[in-house]
């Protein structure tokens, strides 16, 4: 059983460009969450998708958007990249019905560098 897979693993972009990151959840999971982790910091919640809709959002600007597909996979899009967007972007999957009792499974992340 494959866990959470993310692509690409590394990406280099320049300021002002747009980027799309992809995530496939663990089999049987229906919820995908995205996190941003700056160097030396804990991950910060960006947003969560369930039933192809954004259900919760953290304190991130509208430049960050996402999408969830019928097969539960997800994309994270970032427009007008800034130097400060350089970070490790993590995807996590879970099952919505597990509520606070749930376990999140994380991918290994996409390392984004903005030059």
Alpha helices by DSSP H, listed for the chain, are none
CA distance 56 to 77: 16
Q: Closest approach of Cβ 94 to another protein, in Å? A: 5
36 near another protein, rule: CB under 8 A: no
In terms of Cα–Cα distance, which of 30, 26, 20 is closest to 89?
20
Interaction residues for another protein, span 38-67 (CB under 8 A): 41-45, 48, 50, 55-56, 58
Of 13 and 45, the one with the shorter C-beta distance to another protein is: 45
Tell me the C-alpha distance between 60 and 64, whole Å.
Answer: 7
Residues that bind another protein (CB under 8 A): 4, 31-33, 35, 41-45, 48, 50, 55-56, 58, 90, 92-94, 96-97, 99-109
């Amino acid at each position: 059983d494959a866990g959470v897979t993310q692509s690409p693993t590394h990406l280099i972009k320049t300021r002002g460009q747009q980027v799309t990151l992809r995530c496939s959840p663990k089999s049987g999971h229906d919820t995908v969450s995205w996190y941003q982790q700056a160097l030396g910091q804990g991950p910060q919640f960006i947003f969560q998708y369930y039933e192809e809709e954004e259900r919760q959002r953290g304190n991130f600007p509208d430049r960050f958007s996402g999408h969830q597909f019928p097969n539960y996979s997800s994309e994270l899009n970032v427009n007008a990249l800034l130097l400060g967007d350089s970070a490790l972007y993590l995807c996590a999957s879970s099952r919505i019905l597990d509520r606070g009792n749930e376990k999140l499974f994380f991918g290994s992340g996409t390392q984004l560098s903005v030059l």
